[in-house]
Amino acid sequence: MTALQLTGGPVARRLRAETEANLTALRDRGVLPGLAVVVATDNEATLWYVRSIARAADKAGVRCTVVDLGAGAAADEIASTLARLSADEDVHGIILQTPLPPGVAGDELVAHISAAKDVDGANPLSLGRLTVGQQAFAPATARAVVEMLEHYEVPLAGRHVSVVGRSAVVGKPLLQLLLQRDATVTVCHSRSRPLERYTSEAEVVVAAVGRPGLLTGDHVRPGAVVVDVGTNVLENGDLVGDVEPLSTAEVASALTPVPGGVGTVTTALLVLHTTQAALELSEGLVPARSAGPGSSA
């Protein structure tokens, strides 16, 4: 069997059409949507990703500002930047890009992103709301996985999905999105041994780890659909996923490529979410104020 390539391009195009419709409504209201990406690293893969977000925003007509605080930024400085952006009426979407400087805890800082502007679902309030089925922005990567599966009409209800990785940005929110679609979900992590015991039973396998070649054809059952979220930059500069494509394509029925798969959809979603946030804020549906720790916004 040679797996079908499930590319992100057609999915991103459909999302861009939604963005266009939102932009038309925003233009009628005189609102120019703005996205701010806060960066505190010199990690090359991260900077590459941030540039791709900025390009996607620019192409769509969404103003994107990269706030580069440098790899030595202190937690206080990052927190005050997030609070300032949360209160800035010209900013409708805020992303705090990881990794952060050593010793800086991101899970506390993301609480400084206003929930109304939390277009990458990083504030714990967003994950909490998602978990109980309330309206919230899901982290774009988790939603991108579901958008890919739905676009390519991969059935989820009653199916077993094995998600490898349990981070707050991918594995955990993806669990919620899959449960909402009536999938039966196994979430694996570094202590799930042997990994193939949990992945080879599943009809859909999602790899979100950050280790090139972690999943091979031996990890998946014949005919499975495999979604590769991993983005790893090799020493030679190549971008690869977590899935070893050749052996996996021999066994799986479909596989998302890296690059050109989930990442393409993720950036399109960040731009879409920003226009949605701008619409909701301009309608006064949500308060624009900062949602620092202890706030209920």
Does residue number 210 form part of the binding site for ligand NAP (CB under 6 A)?
yes
189 binds ligand NAP per the rule CB under 6 A? yes
Length of the chain: 297
Tokens of 294: 């202890």
* Residue span binding ligand NAP (CB under 6 A) among the ranges 28-36, 59-67, 127-135, 209-217: 209-217
Least Cα distance to 205 among 240, 246, 159, 247 occurs for 159
Stretch that binds ligand NAP, among 34-42, 104-112, 203-211, 244-252 (CB under 6 A): 203-211
Binder of ligand NAP out of 225, 229, 272, 288 (CB under 6 A): 229
191 binds ligand NAP (CB under 6 A): yes
Report cis status (omega within 30 of 0) of the bond before 259: yes
CA 151/CA 213 separation, integer angstroms: 26
Between 131 and 295, CB nearer to ligand NAP: 131
Angle at 11 between CA 205 and CA 152, to 5 degrees: 50
If one asks whether residue 142 binds ligand NAP (CB under 6 A), the answer comes out as no
Q: Cβ distance 112 to 83 under 8 Å?
A: yes
Nearer to ligand NAP, 83 or 240 (CB): 240
Binders of ligand NAP among residues 158 to 177 (CB under 6 A) are 164-167, 169-171
Report d(CA 62, CA 272) in Å as an integer: 9
Report CA-CA distances (Å) from 1 to 15, 200, 203, 213, 256.
31, 16, 16, 20, 15
**CA of 131: how far to CAs of 53, 102, 165, 197, in Å?**
26, 30, 17, 27
240 sits near ligand NAP (criterion: CB under 6 A): no
- Residue from 184, 232, 247, 253 touching ligand NAP (CB under 6 A): that is 232
Please state the closest distance from residue 167 (CB atom) to ligand NAP, in A: 3
CB of 259 to ligand NAP, least distance (A): 9
- Pick between residue 75 and residue 239 the one whose CB is nearest to ligand NAP: 239
CB of residue 166 to ligand NAP, shortest distance in Å: 4
CB-CB contact of 259 with 83 (8 Å): no
Q: Which of 209, 249, 270, 291 binds ligand NAP (CB under 6 A)?
A: 209
- Binding interface with ligand NAP (CB under 6 A): 141, 164-167, 169-171, 188-192, 195, 208-211, 214, 229-232, 262-263, 266
